[in-house]
Amino acid sequence: MNMQWVGASMMLLIPVLFFIGALTNERRANWRLASAISLLGLFLSVFLGIAVYFEWVNLSISGQWVGVSKMSLVMLGLVCFIAFVNIRYSSAYMAGNIDEEKRYLRWLMVTLGSVVTVIISNHMLLLMVAWIAISLSLHRLLVFFPNRQRAVLASHKKFIFARVAEACLLGAILILYYEHGTWFISDIYQNVSLSASLTTPDQFAAMLLALAALVKCAQLPLHGWLIQVVEAPTPVSALLHAGIINLGGYLLIIFAPLIVLSDMAQWILLVVGGITTVLAALVMMTRTSVKVRLAWSTMSQMGLMLVECALGLFELALLHLVAHSCYKAYAFLNAGSEVESSMKRRLSRSVAPSVKEWWFAGIVSVAMVVSLIWVADLSGPYSPWLLFAIALTLLIAERRGRLTSSSAIGMVGLGVVLLVVYSLQKNGASFIVPSMETSVGWIGDLWIGFLLIMFMVGYLLLRYHSEHIWMRKVRRAFYAGFYLDEWVTRLNLRIYPTKLPVRFKPKKLQVPKEELFQ
C-alpha cells in the first residue's frame, strides 16, 4: 500500500469517526468522545499537512473517491478545530437535560461528519450525498426548539432553498459527467484547466454551480432564513455561520476553472454577490440585536467571498473563508458578553471626525495602498485594494471611538502593519490555491469598485446624517431589509405552506359572574 492510499485512508477515517460518535449517544451524551474525535481529526489534518510538505504523500488524486490536497487539508483542519471548540461549548450549554443532550449531540456529530465528507470527497456523487446530508441533519438542529414559531418558519424556508441549491448542484454534476465522462472532480478540474474556452454544456454547469453557491450562502433575496435561525441554540448558530454557510465558496474554489471561463457565472456572482455585500453591510448598521447584526454581517461577508471567486482571486477567497470562520465562531459563542460591551459603546460618547480628518485619512490610506501596488508591481483586479483603502480610511478617521482614542500616527502605523500582514497572508494563500485570470476583466473590477464607493457613501449617511428627516425613511427601509424577506416568505408559504406551532398563552383567570356580586 503506497503513501497516497495511507493519506486517503486517514482522511476517510475522520468522517467515519464522527458518524460512529453519533451512534454512541443512546444512553447518555458522550461529550468526551465527541471532543476526542474532533481533536483527533485536527491532529490527523496537521500530520497530513506535514506529510504533504515533506512530499511523503503524493498530491495526485486522479481516480480516487477521497483525495489529499492542500486545499482539503486546510479546510479539514479548520472544520475539526471549530468542531472541537463548538463541542466543548455545547457540553456546558446543553447541560441539564439528558434527552435533549443526546438528541443534540447525535445530530451535531452527523452534521460535522457530513461537512468533513464534502471537504475530502473527490467523487461528485459522494459530494452530492454529503451535501444533502448536511442540509437534512442541520434541519434537525435548527428546529431543536420546535415550539418557537420563528425557528420553525426559518427552518421551513431553509428547507425549501436547500432543495433548490441541491437541484442546481445535481444538474451541474450530471452535465459535467455527460460532458467529460468522469465523476472525479480532479479529472474535470484538469480537463477544463487545459481548455481555452467552455462548451455550451459546461457553460450551463458553471451557471448552475454559481446559483447553488448563491443559494447556499443566503444571498439576497433568499436571505431571511439566516436572520431568523438565531432562534436555534447558540452553538448551532456558531456552527452554521462559521462553517456550513461557507460551503458555497468552497464549491466555487474546487470548480475554479469552470467559473473563470464562464462570463454568465461570473456576472451572476458579481451582481448578486456585490449587491448583497453592500446592502447587507448597511442594513447591519441599523440593527440592534447582536445575533441579528452578526447574521447580516455573515451575508455581507459571503457576498464578498463570492465576488472574490468571480474575480479569480481564489487565494483571497480561501483566506477570507478561514478568517471569517474563526471570527464568527468566536463572535457567536461570545455573544453573551457582547451585549454588555455593546451597551458601553452606546452609552459612551464618540468624537465625529472633522472634514480635514476625513481628507487626511483618505489621502494617507490611498497613498499607502497605491505605494504597495507600485512597489510590488501588483496586477489587477484592484477593487479589493480599494476596499482595503476604505477600511484604512475608516480606521484612521474614526480613531477617537466610543471606548478608545488613538493618535493619528499610531493608526497610520497600525495601517501599515495591517497592509503588510494582509499582503503576506494573501501571497501565502496563493501557494495553496492560485489566482486565475477571469474573462470579465476590468469591467467586472469597475463594477465592484462602483459598489464599494456606494457603500462608503451609504456608511457616511447612515452613521453621521441619520438625524435628517429625509434619512429617517431611508434608515427605516434599510432596517426592514427593503421588505424582501416578507415577499419571499409569502411566496414560500403560498407554494409550500406549513403549520406553525401555536404560541403558548397563559390561561386567564375565569371567575363566574355570580361570584363577583357576592
Per domain, the residue ranges of the chain are 1-122, 123-346, 347-493
- Residue 20 one-letter amino acid: I
By CB neighbour count within 10 A (0-12 exposed, 13-18 middle, 19+ buried), where does 192 fall? buried
Q: Show the cell assigned to 231.
A: 432562534
Task: Compute the CA torsion angle 337, 342, 348, 354 (nearest 10 deg).
Answer: 140
Report the 10 Å Cβ neighbour count for 457: 11
Angle, CA of 492, 244 and 237, to the nearest 5°: 75
Q: Show the cell assigned to 65.
A: 473517491
The residues, ordered by sequence, that sit 6+ positions from 262 with a Cβ below 8 Å of its Cβ are 198, 202, 203, 206, 207, 210, 439
Q: Show the cell assigned to 86.
A: 463548538
Q: How far apart are CA 123 and CA 63, in angstroms?
A: 9
Each residue's pLDDT expressed in tens, for the chain with a length of 518 residues: 466 667 777 888 899 999 999 988 777 888 999 999 999 999 999 988 888 877 776 655 556 788 778 888 899 999 999 999 999 999 888 887 777 888 899 999 999 999 999 999 989 999 999 999 999 999 888 888 878 788 888 888 999 999 999 999 999 999 999 999 999 998 898 888 888 888 899 999 999 999 999 999 999 898 888 888 877 888 888 898 888 899 999 999 999 999 999 999 999 999 999 999 999 999 998 988 888 888 899 999 999 999 999 999 999 999 999 999 999 888 888 876 666 666 666 666 667 788 888 999 999 999 999 999 998 888 878 999 999 999 999 988 888 765 566 777 888 888 889 888 888 888 888 888 888 888 788 899 999 999 999 999 999 999 888 788 888 888 888 988 888 988 988 988 888 888 877 765 555 555 555 554 44
Angle, CA of 148, 501 and 224, to the nearest 5°: 55
Q: How far apart are CA 491 and CA 183, in angstroms?
A: 36
Instruction: Read off φ and ψ for residue 347, nearest 5 degrees.
Output: -80, -25
Q: How far apart are CA 517 and CA 106, in angstroms?
A: 59
Q: Where are the alpha helices (DSSP H) in 377-436?
A: 383-397, 408-429
Q: How many CA atoms lie within 13 A of 358 on its CB side?
A: 9
Is there a contact between 226 and 284 (Cβ–Cβ < 8 Å)? no
Would you give the distance in Å from CA 371 to the centre of its chain? 32
Report the 10 Å Cβ neighbour count for 205: 29
pLDDT at 436: 87
Q: Which residue has the cell 449587491?
A: 275
pLDDT at 518: 46
Q: How far apart are CA 199 and CA 364, in angstroms?
A: 47
Q: How far apart are CA 84 and CA 235, in angstroms?
A: 12
The structure's pTM equals 0.91
What's the Cα-to-Cα distance from 209 to each of 54, 173, 293, rounded to whole Å? Answer: 34, 9, 28
Q: Show the cell assigned to 391.
A: 477600511
Q: Which of 247, 208, 238, 25 is nearest to 117 (CA)?
A: 247
Q: How far apart are CA 471 and CA 465, in angstroms?
A: 7
Altogether, the residues listed in the chain come to a count of 518
Give the chain's largest Cα–Cα span: 94
pLDDT at 133: 95
Q: Which of 163, 25, 19, 32 is nearest to 98 (CA)?
A: 25
Is there a contact between 393 and 365 (Cβ–Cβ < 8 Å)? yes
Residue 121, SS3 per DSSP: strand
Q: Show the cell assigned to 272.
A: 448578486
Instruction: Read off φ and ψ for residue 259, nearest 5 degrees.
Output: -70, -45
Q: At what angle do helices 3-22 and 31-53 cross, to 10 degrees?
A: 170
